[in-house]
Amino acid sequence: MAGRTGRLKTWYEEHVLAGILDGAMAGVEPLRAELLPQARGRVLEVGFGTGANLPHYGDEVSSLVAVEPSEGLARVARRRLEAWGRPFELIEMSGSRRLPIDDASVDVAVLTFVLCSVKRIPELLAEVRRILRPAGPLLVAEHVVAGTPGHAAAQRALRPIWKACLGGCDPARDTRGHLEAAGYDTAALEERPLGLPWLVRPGLVGVARAPR
């Protein structure tokens, strides 16, 4: 987006949205602390946002490839990555497009609270699969469609207004279905409540596996 509108959008993302995201996601910090220490070696994180996962990566992470399409969020992320002090690449584009990363070149991939707002999920999951080593672990933490009919009906009823207010975030995504359709083994993913508002509390958390 060029010109004044684009600059305003970037300013808003860097100075307002980044703070909103960090604040709104505070309740999932314990979950990040539980999941992310499983990352090792060269790690791909798609939908990096402000870099909220960064403090939770352990010493076994040797380098990070971060993908983030929002220019304003990427500015915040870059400052945090520079302070992190380990090798990184920050790729400012959508993960649903062909990324400039070699096939089977990362040890672990990470998707946290991203798939709810991705427009072309099959393309993004195929791209992650291409880049991740065969049978590599995909660390997942996502809010998903509720398992109980009443809760799922509320998610669907409120979907239009929720999406309009929250940057296209869909409260009722069948994320396990999408992962399975893309060929990932989801047997070890667990449905559990998240530290988020009621509408988006149902979560899917754990380690999925890319195909061999």
Residues at the contact surface with ligand SAM, assessed by CB under 6 A: 21, 25, 46-47, 49, 52-53, 67-70, 73, 94-96, 112-114, 117-118, 124
Residue-wise over 38-66: b if at least 16 C-beta within 10 A, else e?
Answer: ebeebbbbbbbbbbbbbebbeeebeebbb
Residues 188 and 176: beta-carbon distance below 8 Å: no
Q: Which is nearer to ligand SAM, 107 or 142 (CB)?
A: 142
Instruction: Determine the residue with CB nearest ligand SAM.
Output: 49
CB of 149 to ligand SAM, least distance (A): 26
- Give the Cβ contact number of residue 26 at 10 Å: 10
Q: Which is nearer to ligand SAM, 46 or 210 (CB)?
A: 46
Q: Which is nearer to ligand SAM, 153 or 197 (CB)?
A: 197
CB of 129 to ligand SAM, least distance (A): 15
Q: In the 8-state DSSP scheme, what is residue 116?
A: T
Q: Give which of 120, 147, 137 is closest to 201, Cα–Cα.
A: 147
CB of 111 to ligand SAM, least distance (A): 7
Q: Which is nearer to ligand SAM, 52 or 210 (CB)?
A: 52
CA contacts within 13 A on the Cβ side of 20: 11
CB of 168 to ligand SAM, least distance (A): 8
| 3-state DSSP assignment of residue 47 | coil
